[in-house]
Structure 1
Amino acid sequence: MALVPVADALDRLLAGAAPLPGESVPLAEAMDRVLAEPIRALRTQPPFDASAMDGYAVHAADIGTLPARLSVIGTAPAGHGFTGTPAGGEAVRIFTGAPLPAGTDTVVIQEDTRDLGNGAIEVVEATAHGANVRKAGLDFAEGDLLLEKGRLLDPAALALAASANHPYLSVVRRPLVAVIATGDELRTPGSELAPGQIISSNAYGVAAVAHSVGARAIDLGIAADRKEDIAARVRQAVAAKADVLVTLGGASVGDLDLIHDVLTGEGMTLDFWKVAMRPGKPLMSGRLGAMRCIGLPGNPVASLVCSQLFLKPLLARLGGRRYRPDMREARLGAAMAANDRRQDYVRACVREEAGLLTATPLGLQDSSMLRRLADAEGLIVREPFAPAAEAGANCRVLMLR
């Protein structure tokens, strides 16, 4: 099977991917979710002319000449309006958020008055007509479109939805990713290792990639190198109604690389297998019913690089999120040899100097070396058959952090 170019593989993986159906969630659980339906106001805010300051509600005509003496006939605290109607020469003590008493049109802040005692004040500073009053509907009116479908809900959007009187919101369902690691040599972190065994790390990185774009992940454990064990876990993923199944390892062509045979045996339609990239060549993609299947390489760096390039944009699209890789222009901090037919993703230290990014490869690039990936700020992207490049040459960098 011919190697699939990276761009073609991504296009094929994303083909037909669309936001999942909506679900209703309580407002308190909607942070960082994506709206499946637009939000319209169920009320007007403010619902009445309200005071924007602590002070006195007055008729503007009564304070045209200063100082102006007024009689205070009552109080309007927030949540409790004044029920009377002040006449000329009368004022009502009012607090921020309280409804403006009938007939009044202006609020004089308390700092601009002097208490004369016996229920009288004197206005000593000029106040414009309508000052310190929030008119009804200043923020929004009932029926107004407040938030578009597809909006990622941040604190301000949630507060707006709450103010519009929505206790529940329709949001895109979070994609569910089922993760299966494979290999007799793998053990969970914290295990005592026998000779020939290693710690399984990929599942944690893949789950973190899923979480970074709002998806959920379930770990279906480590399958032994036996077809029946792998198949049983694939069926668990189907039963869990996972949107995406990610397998780790076993996607190459060795005698114990069983993923292809198991998945096709369970009914998967293979789309592509083997991508023209380094690391990550054995990447596999297909569909098992409604579930998308991605077979990632077992080498930890290859697994995580492929997750960034393929799994992350897929989950973002299924979750209704806008996603664009953080690709930047930079200059090489060291010379690089000519490339072969595969697109390279080279772990690099990225530094900014005088407004320019410099990307320096981090030496040995073995795909088992997670420490180098953790140290890297980005991946230098080298096109297939790129010629040798000297230090200072232009390059592209996929930023990781």
Structure 2
Amino acid sequence: MPTISNKGHSMPESPIRKLVPHAEKAIKNGKHIYHLNIGQPDIKTPEIALQAVKDNDIDILAYSNSKGEESYRKKLVSYYHKNDINISIDDIIVTTGASEALYFLFSSIMDPNDEVIICEPFYANYIAFSIASGVNVVPAISKIEDNFSLPSIEAFEKLITKKTKAILICNPGNPTGYLYSKEEIQNLAVIAKTHDLFLIADEVYREFVYDGNTHYSILHEKGLDEHTIMIDSVSKRYSMCGARIGCLISKNKTIMQTVLKFAQARLSPPSYAQIACEAALDTPQSYFDDVAAEYVDRRNTLVEELQKIDNIKVAMPKGAFYCMVELPIKNSDNFAKWLLEDFDVNGETIMVAPAAGFYSTPSIGLNQIRIAYVLKKESLIKAVGILKEALKVYKD
């Protein structure tokens, strides 16, 4: 019998999506589920983006440019200029989501068995991209006790070997909600320069920054043009997860020429989605101000309610819309399944993301969960109430 590849065996299940069959069964059994497990915003997509698709007069849905439509990239340049990121149209390649951008990048800058250092816990799909590219992830561990702040320069330098090619961060972070400070970004810049490494930043949550803080991009750093690559996406910014449009940005011409070859091999990013995304760039600032205010309100509500539960630890998010929580249990995978299969309060239960899937280090994060506060305040209060009752009766 033919067999699948070792790579296929190694590819992990999504810690977020693997519980879907259990959730479907719970729904069939009549339970209502509060979905705290996935970063799907309930904020409405800007009408201007949806209307642009409705109003188009395309009569042949042709291939787009492999780099992305020129008109869209020109408007992206203007968007980044407003954020003090000075780039040109040639520094952008539009991709099918940030996921494709990362896969193209890993394949462009690293060979099999090369190493990328990633601050842990991290977005679970980074592992999938590394396996698909044959790359090894080396975790730089951050801790809930430190609110998941950046490990020291010394901690990073201990991890660097001859095979190390890059450092990857998510800023603000998924799953932690941590926002890297200007000083922390500059510390990473020093490491990248000193050891001649690429510095990659996934900045898809740049609009979601709270408490008077500002987002400091790696592209704000001077003298790092050959080292830095930024990954971005419209999914969260405009609540357009289904558009599947992202981009890769770098002033390193060799990287861009190499990534383009991968982009040409997949032909082109989707045309209709680029139409919507180009129009979305005209979304007024008031939209983002309102969304940020809403998420701050939800975050504060969530954290306040969680802190009423005994024997848990809660990290305070500074950005994005995720919160990491450490529970008085042994295994959050088992707990998450039990919540869906065997527990409810008046016919209602919750779905959470077990945090072990956001770590590559074995045995770390087993008693943690990630909560996405993408529900309205009233729902968050109910959801935390269900969690509180569940912990009273759950047995490992």
What is the TM-score normalised by the length of structure 1? 0.27
More helix by share: 2
Whose relative contact order is higher, 1 or 2, with alpha carbons under 8 Å and at least 6 apart? Answer: 2
- The structure with the largest alpha-carbon Rg is 1
Please report the TM-score for the alignment, with normalisation by the length of structure 2: 0.28
Higher strand share: 1
